[in-house]
Structure 1
Amino acid sequence: MSTPLPSNSQAQRDAGDYLRESLVRQKLVQRICGQAVIYFGAFIVAVSLYKFVSAFSLDVSPWPELQLGVAGLLLAFLGNFLRRSTFLKSLLSEFSPSARASRSLLMLILALFIMGSVVLFKLSVQDVLRYKRLLGEGGILEYLQALILFTSAWVSWLISRDLWRRLLMRLHGAIYGIIALGMLFVGLEELAWGQVLFGWRTPDNIAALNAQNQTTIHNLEFFQDYLDMNLFLVSALILVLVLWRPSFGLFKARSSREDVIPVGTFFLPRYFWPLFFCAAFLSYFVATRSATALVLNIDQEWAELMLYLSFGLGLLRTYVLLANPSGRQNG
């Protein structure tokens, strides 16, 4: 016996509920983006003040550290702007046909901006050792990576909870829970589990095995010969998958509420390709040690930043789209 179709009034109520939920999520995601930038700016200001005070005891000029503080203040103002930006709110809309085109353009601009930043950093910092210090362990780029990873872990946990509780999709919820833990783990690794912040001495038994004398796993000597090439292979593989967009049966699912979950909800959209292309481009030269006069080993930090940023933006997109699981997606 067939199940009766829902009445028009019920369908309208469901559509209204989905619309309200989508708007709530757009505002939440906008707040997450703004707060993340504000927290990062505040953190940069705190680090700048700490280094400013420490410079007096080290008998070095403290004034250059204030430049970092100014950058932190600018980031805090930017985050406050993002929280209230109508442009960002429209960019997150899944109901606006023009939003997808805007997001596609934004990804291209973002990739070009990051690559332009690479060039500007290299031109403005002529000293190679100083350039490596800026991007290396304890540098501003590493803090930014950690911020993106921790924010991504939070969003992935929100997705996991949504899939588990509201849509009753236990397997998918568990997968995103594991992703959240993975993001948290990588973020802690980037900060050397707090050693970058608090500066404790690496135990001798770990220092003997660690290429960078840190309390980390990914810098162990065993992994050093494979990290750069693996980063390139992962970037290239994801670039191919993003452009190809295969449909895996695992994600073709219905929730227990009979909502059809489109496959595209769980996959990175095709317009993310510029970020992955630039990440693969940089990581190729790092892995192959070609063009060493232009691309240094430390430039893999830029590639990692673009990978983390792509995953974070993809998770934000998934969280917004899950508000209307059976609706038409604009990507």
Structure 2
Amino acid sequence: MTFITRFAPSPTGPLHLGHAFSALLAEGRAHARKGQFLLRIEDIDRARSKPEWERQIYDDLHWLGLHWDAAPLRQSDRQTSYDAALDTLWKRGLLYPCTCTRRDIADAASAPQEGAAPVTGPDGLVYPGTCRAHPRHGQRPHDAALRLDMAAALKTLQSPARLTFTETGTGSQGETGQIILLPDTLLHDVGDVVLARRDMGTSYHLSVVLDDAAQGITEVTRGADLFEATQIHVLLQRLLGIVTPSYHHHRLIRDTAGKRLAKRDDARALSKYRAEGCTPQDIRTMVGL
């Protein structure tokens, strides 16, 4: 089997040192295995994605000396695939419409519940299930967010206790090898995640699973901050009949205060280093490659 991995930036701001590390690492892993390195533009956030940022991504990656082995895949071209998956899950009764705002969820989570503290999962506060009783018949609605009914989804699996994936990187706590996912953790610590946002028609969790499958990815290379989200992706792969790739969650590049870099931190944008005369080798040295 050909080794295939990818770098998947969003065109919502400038690439920074953390992006450079992830892209260089992914390409290096592909070349070391005589495999393929692919690029994906994750532009489902139409409000924040800008053509100029996408052009800057290509420019910065070429400057770093990176080359991808196929035309980039753009999420904005793949809504048909996302709709088909959502229709499948809707017809199976595994989705329900949700009209709650973030404030609604925060208020419900902070309400007294036998002294229990609110639970935070990969997407923030675990959804309290306010809209879970909404009707699930007829045509799939497009005027509300769609949530996965986690309990119903787990019940459809013949062996929910055998949800596993292979971790080849650092994970979030240094985990490597075969990772076993616990249904109780998915139910209580992850909950009913959003699979389609009203303003996007999809979500990160759904699109990344379908896009990795479409690109034939055999190892997902991404930051350790996404390790906890992997359990959601493995579950969706099982529900949609998609083969689970291995995962390489790498260390994060942090600032001098130990904070993870973000796109709003323009001081560490690659374009700034380029303007100051840095070379691609300088960038490799900065990120420890």
- TM-score by length of structure 2 reads 0.25
Determine which structure has more spread, i.e. the larger CA radius of gyration: 1
Normalized per residue, which structure has more helix?
A: 1
Normalized per residue, which structure has more strand?
A: 2
Q: Which has the higher contact order (CA 8 A, sep 6+)?
A: 2
